[in-house]
């Protein structure tokens, strides 16, 4: 699932390339995207109506800003409307131009990036005014797990999936981080990925952060004290900022809005490197923490319990 660096990369791209442009139309072949978590609508006709309502709400509106909250993309529209997009497992927005061919959308661009098979699962398209070569904002999403909601700004911002989020990992102060940290219990990797703790960290970057901090992923968070908490926060910010600088990680499906892979995969230290050696020559291992894989070096990372 895209984490903070991947979503931030997308948001920064969109901010430069779509703000000020108007949405002329929208297309989808997957109306399930628009199901509100509170909705009781069932059946294809009900889901089609949700899409038609979505289309009616956004057509003709201008994009006035794009920002990120946690792993959510927030597209602000004229008239105080807001689109929320959560990319889930395989979703990633692309800017370009496609034509309908043989029942599917084919990129008219000849770049090798847009010919990448990961960019071929076009499920949703916003048609934009302005730049012809980038006349469409598309969502490629192989597994169709993404979520797309739209409504008045206040209504969207009050959804529980936004209201329940913790502070931003890149913005939280040491004092606030310590206060929240000291209320938590359990394995430190699970806590780092808890979006009510701090937002934006997932499986990839939690492994990297804990390796650099020298803390085993199964360490009990309530036993981590003093200077180690400061070191952990410093490394959270350092790793996430480096992830943004390198435009995210493409260990699987993620691509940026140009259809390109992120560069963080080239500098990964432990994530998905089990069986290989760490920087100090020790064998990297893998275990399960809260049902998720954790990659670590048992020699370099202390188990605090």
pLDDT category at 42 given cuts 50, 70, 90 is: low
Compute the average pLDDT of residues 175-202.
Answer: 97
Q: What confidence tens digit (pLDDT) does each residue in 14-31 have?
A: 999 999 999 999 999 999
Q: In DSSP terms, which residues pair with 23 in a beta bridge?
A: 128
Q: Is the confidence at residue 210, as pLDDT, over 80?
A: yes
Catalytic amino acids? 2-3, 71, 292
pLDDT category at 46 given cuts 50, 70, 90 is: confident
Compute the average pLDDT of residues 26-41.
Answer: 82
What is the rounded CA–CA span in Å between residue 258 and residue 94? 6
Strand runs labelled E in the chain: 23-28, 63-69, 72-77, 81-86, 91-96, 98-101, 104-107, 122-128, 136-141, 147-152, 285-289, 292-296
Longest dimension (CA), the chain: 61
Domains and CATH numbers, the chain: 4-69+71-159 (3.20.190.10), 174-296 (1.10.8.50)
pLDDT at 207: 98
pLDDT category at 35 given cuts 50, 70, 90 is: confident
Q: In DSSP terms, which residues pair with 65 in a beta bridge?
A: 76
The number of C-alpha atoms within 13 Å of 181 and in the hemisphere containing its C-beta is 25
């Amino acid at each position: 699932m895209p984490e903070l660096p991947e979503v931030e990369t997308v948001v920064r791209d969109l901010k430069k390339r779509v703000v000020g442009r108007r949405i002329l139309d929208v297309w989808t072949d997957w109306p399930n995207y628009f199901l509100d978590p509170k909705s009781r609508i069932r059946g294809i006709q009900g889901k089609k109506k949700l899409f038609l309502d979505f289309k009616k709400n956004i057509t003709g509106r201008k994009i006035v800003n794009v920002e990120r909250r946690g792993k959510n993309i927030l597209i602000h529209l004229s008239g105080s409307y807001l689109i929320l997009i959560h990319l889930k497992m395989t979703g990633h927005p692309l800017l370009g131009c496609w034509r309908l061919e043989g029942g599917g959308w084919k990129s008219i661009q000849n770049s090798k990036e847009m010919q990448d098979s990961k960019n071929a699962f076009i499920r949703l398209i916003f048609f934009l005014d302005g730049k012809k070569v980038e006349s469409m904002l598309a969502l490629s999403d192989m597994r169709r797990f993404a979520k797309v909601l739209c409504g008045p700004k206040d209504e969207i911002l009050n959804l529980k999936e936004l209201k329940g989020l913790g502070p931003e990992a890149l913005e939280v102060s040491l004092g606030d981080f310590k206060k929240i940290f000291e209320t938590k219990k359990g394995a430190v990797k699970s806590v780092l990925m808890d979006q009510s703790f701090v937002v934006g960290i997932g499986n990839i970057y939690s492994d990297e952060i804990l390796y650099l901090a020298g803390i085993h992923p199964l360490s009990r968070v309530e036993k981590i004290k003093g200077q180690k908490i400061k070191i952990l926060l410093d490394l959270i910010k350092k790793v996430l900022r480096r992830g943004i600088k390198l435009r995210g990680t493409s260990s699987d499906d993620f691509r940026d809005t140009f259809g390109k892979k992120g560069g963080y995969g080239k500098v990964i230290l432990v994530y998905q490197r089990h069986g290989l050696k760490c920087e100090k020559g020790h064998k990297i291992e893998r275990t399960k923490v809260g049902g998720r894989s954790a990659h670590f070096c048992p020699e370099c990372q202390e188990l605090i319990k």
